[in-house]
Structure 1
Amino acid sequence: MTDTDQPATGRRDRKKAQTRAALTAAALRLVAERGLEQVTVEEISEAADVSSRTFFNYFTCKDEALTDDPALDGNAVVARLAAAPAQVPALQAVRLALAESIDSIQADRELWRLRLTVIAQNPALLPRLVAGNSATEQAMVAVVATRLGVGPDHGHPPLVVAVAGAAFRTAMLRWATGDDARPLHDFVDEAFAAIAGGLADPPSPS
């Protein structure tokens, strides 16, 4: 690729990212206003000022536009987990692997607040989220098992991944739905520290 080609490629990538983001924002806004069954792909495309054909260049269906996000790229998370320093404990390695996703989600807080509201209002979207997370979690379990030098049937790797996932989801919900203005990584660190500390009960209110 020549130097002239590289800026053009960069512009195309930015344009594609902008179009995808516009479609996602339009889908979430319309579904939040009208409900999942009352919004069509054509209406989402029109709101994003693109054609329905363009919509299907980015998403296979309406539900995917609502739930999928580059910040949740499971392949990237798994790759970062595999690249974490070998001396880092497994739970902390998962936290390190999530760092870039956390930063991306933080940058789009209002979009994520809207997404979580839409999902809460439309439970039919949950299977898509669970299916995507399941594939990523299975890959993460394999990486953790390799890091620890244990077999695929060992109970510790899936427990680490499951607990880390629960901590991350709990932190996201607290961050997105509460009045606390702290950044997402504060909530995630707090949740992971509680787990690492044995999940002791908090002090009783005085």
Structure 2
Amino acid sequence: MRQAAGGLRERKKRETRAALADAALRLALEKGPENVTVEEIAEAADVSVRTFFNYFPHKEHAILGRNPEHLERALELMRTAPAEVSPLTLMWHVVREVLQDLESDGELSRRGELIMQSPNLVYQLMVSSFDDERRLTAALAERMGEPATAVRPALVVSAAGAACRVAMELHKQTPDRRVSELVGEGFRLLAEGIDPGFDSTEKGHS
């Protein structure tokens, strides 16, 4: 019974977080993100302002739809994935899982467009993304047996993030292509080497 109660509480938390994120996005699209208040979001989701702050530190995170479960699942995958899974493949699994969640609610494109139109939302997304990347880099470096200051794990994580950002921008120009499809193409290019002719020697500048 305790296990069932715990599962019910977790489901209720997920539902409340989703309701707040949905309300925040809807209001931001209607009024503009700068004109939305926490009080309005809470009222639209039928919860108290205090409950809002149990899930999001500010309205921008709600509009962005930030879900800490995504990062926790990613870190768990870092710890438990089979040793033969390559670093970039592992990041693809991480990204694909998040994209499946975001695309399933049908709001990924509208949220992406809204973010790109708001400098404040872009800034908040960058700050939160950098924090996620630091934690993922530390976990990947540990998995790879490399120092926390090693370039390779940091580059793998950052390149994965760049592939997602490029895909979101290109999706605005080619809305008939799904974001996950564009991200997949980016990952394949990273795996194949985006510039086989790269030359870091002095003759490369002549």
Does TM-score exceed 0.5, indicating one fold? yes
Does 2:109 align with 1:113?
A: yes
Asked whether the equivalents of residues 71 and 105 of structure 1 are also in contact (C-alpha less than 8 Å), the reply is no
CA pair 179-125 structure 1, distance change in 2 beyond 3 A: closer
Asked whether the equivalents of residues 171 and 188 of structure 1 are also in contact (C-alpha less than 8 Å), the reply is yes
Q: What corresponds to 1:125 in structure 2? A: 121
- Over the aligned positions, Cα root-mean-square deviation in angstroms equals 2.5
Q: What corresponds to 2:84 in structure 1? A: 87
Bigger relative CO (Cα 8 Å, ≥ 6 apart)? 1
Residues 13-52 of structure 1: pairs in structure 2 closer than 5 A: 13-52=10-49
Aligned residue type for 1:57: N
Asked whether the equivalents of residues 22 and 48 of structure 1 are also in contact (C-alpha less than 8 Å), the reply is yes
Aligned residue type for 1:35: G
Deviation at 1:157, TM superposition (A): 2.0
1:109-143 C-alpha deviation (Å, 9 max, x unpaired): x3222221221221112232222222221222223
Structure 2 unaligned blocks of 5 or more? 197-206
* Number of residues of Structure 1 aligned to a counterpart in Structure 2: 196
Deviation at 1:166, TM superposition (A): 0.6
TM-score normalised by length of structure 2: 0.80
Does 2:21 align with 1:8?
A: no
Aligned residue type for 2:166: T
CA pair 185-85 structure 1, distance change in 2 beyond 3 A: farther
1:149-191 C-alpha deviation (Å, 9 max, x unpaired): 3333332222222111111222344457743254x44332221
Q: Equivalents in 1 of 2:68, 2:55: separation in Å? A: 15
1:71-109 C-alpha deviation (Å, 9 max, x unpaired): 77323212212323222322112112333212212212x
Does 2:61 align with 1:64?
A: yes
Q: Equivalents in 2 of 1:67, 1:21: separation in Å? A: 11
Q: Equivalents in 1 of 2:68, 2:17: separation in Å? A: 13
Asked whether the equivalents of residues 71 and 101 of structure 1 are also in contact (C-alpha less than 8 Å), the reply is no
Q: What corresponds to 1:192 in structure 2? A: 187
Q: Equivalents in 2 of 1:70, 1:155: separation in Å? A: 28
Q: What corresponds to 2:204 in structure 1? A: none
TM-score normalised by length of structure 1: 0.80
Structure 1 unaligned blocks of 5 or more? 202-206
CA pair 179-58 structure 1, distance change in 2 beyond 3 A: same
Q: Equivalents in 1 of 2:175, 2:141: separation in Å? A: 38
SS, match of residue 27 in structure 2: helix
Q: Equivalents in 2 of 1:177, 1:52: separation in Å? A: 38
| Amino-acid identity (%) | 39
CA pair 143-42 structure 1, distance change in 2 beyond 3 A: closer
Asked whether the equivalents of residues 112 and 176 of structure 1 are also in contact (C-alpha less than 8 Å), the reply is no
Q: Equivalents in 2 of 1:101, 1:176: separation in Å? A: 19
CA pair 13-139 structure 1, distance change in 2 beyond 3 A: closer
Asked whether the equivalents of residues 81 and 96 of structure 1 are also in contact (C-alpha less than 8 Å), the reply is no
